[in-house]
Structure 1
Amino acid sequence: MTPDVSSAMSALHEAAFTAADAAGVEPELLQLIKIRASQINGCSSSLARHTRAARAAGQSEQRLRDVRAWRNSKVLTRREQAALSLTEAITLVFAGQVPDSVYAEAARVFDETQLAALIWAATVINAHNRIAIATRLEGSGAPPVAAAG
């Protein structure tokens, strides 16, 4: 890896998640976003890391199981479901743009600053997943890009 780029990626990660915190986005919600993006991307090392962190922060096993099937969850809130829907659309953006309905629902339950922070958070975790997978760190247990992600 190139140290300058890794440092820049770590700084972007820190900036994105600091902005989310400053905007009042719940840390538990940010963990769910990391988990869902990692599930979709098939990044098992990131998935394991974020699931451990979510458990350590008090997330229940039911809530963690429901992340994959969030549309039918009885325990995830409308706000969490909107964030997970937006995360999926961003993660799968190659299939087309983020649907207007997904963006509109997220805009209904998050203020403008929170919505921008969520978009950055989902984008950053996707970048980390892709780096881990592309550099073969995925599955090695080694954290991608200077332990960020």
Structure 2
Amino acid sequence: MFPNVNIVKRHPGPYEAYVALSKETTAAARSAGLSTILCELVKIRVSQLNGCAFCLRDHTQAAIAAGETADRLAVLPAWWESQYFSEQERAALTLAEQVTRIEHQHTSPDPLTDVEGVLTPEQIAAVTWLAIEFNGWNRIAVTSHFKVAP
């Protein structure tokens, strides 16, 4: 268990810089032509892998507000076994999982999804930034013990 210290309250400057990074990452995703729903799916999937309840709740609500369905959210933890997700979403989720599970990338076989055949280089860069950003947000929320209550 992490020490019970809220790093945001103790050092707000890095948090404010991270908020600015988040705005830049969102702008890059929009510029690359990625939909709000795809971006939220990436954030949710990264948060699922990291076990971040705070980000899961926040971005599930954002995805629903953007028009995402309960069916797709229900199968997101096993997205590769379903036919709910577009080729672009599958490529983005594959890439987000590779970034999040980076420790496995040196020994894992190539993914079944052809990320470079589906996403443009600009989209690959934008999804990579989203995954990097959200791995950071998950770590901020989990280590600071952000409250998650109904």
- TM-score range, shorter-chain basis? 0.7 to 0.9
The one of 68, 90, 93 aligned to 1:84: 93
Q: Which protein has the larger Cα radius of gyration, Structure 1 or Structure 2?
A: 2
Q: Which runs of 5+ in 2 are unaligned?
A: 1-7
TM-score (normalised: structure 2): 0.86
Question: 1:61 — aligned with what?
Answer: 70
Total equivalences in the alignment: 140
Question: Is the 8 Å Cα contact of residues 35 and 50 (structure 1) preserved in structure 2?
Answer: yes
Aligned in 2, Cα 1:114/1:23: closer, same or farther, shift over 3 Å? Answer: same
> Which structure has the higher relative contact order (CA within 8 Å, separation 6+)?
2
The separation in 1 between residues aligned to 2:108 and 2:98, in whole angstroms, is 7
Aligned in 2, Cα 1:21/1:98: closer, same or farther, shift over 3 Å? Answer: farther
Question: Is the 8 Å Cα contact of residues 86 and 102 (structure 1) preserved in structure 2?
Answer: no
Backbone CA RMSD of aligned residues: 2.0
Give the residue type in structure 2 aligned to 1:92.
R
The runs of at least 4 consecutive aligned structure 1 residues that moved more than 2 Å come to 94-104
Give identity over the alignment, percent: 36
Question: Is the 8 Å Cα contact of residues 90 and 98 (structure 1) preserved in structure 2?
Answer: no
TM-score (normalised: structure 1): 0.86
Question: Is the 8 Å Cα contact of residues 82 and 109 (structure 1) preserved in structure 2?
Answer: yes
Aligned in 2, Cα 1:17/1:99: closer, same or farther, shift over 3 Å? Answer: farther
Question: Is the 8 Å Cα contact of residues 86 and 103 (structure 1) preserved in structure 2?
Answer: no
Q: Using the TM superposition, give the Cα deviation of residue 61 of structure 1 relative to its aligned residue in structure 2, in angstroms.
A: 1.0
Q: Using the TM superposition, give the Cα deviation of residue 141 of structure 1 relative to its aligned residue in structure 2, in angstroms.
A: 3.1
Q: Which runs of 5+ in 1 are unaligned?
A: 143-149
Q: How do 1:10-25 and structure 2 match up within 5 A? A: 10-25=19-34
Aligned in 2, Cα 1:24/1:99: closer, same or farther, shift over 3 Å? Answer: farther
Question: Is the 8 Å Cα contact of residues 89 and 97 (structure 1) preserved in structure 2?
Answer: no
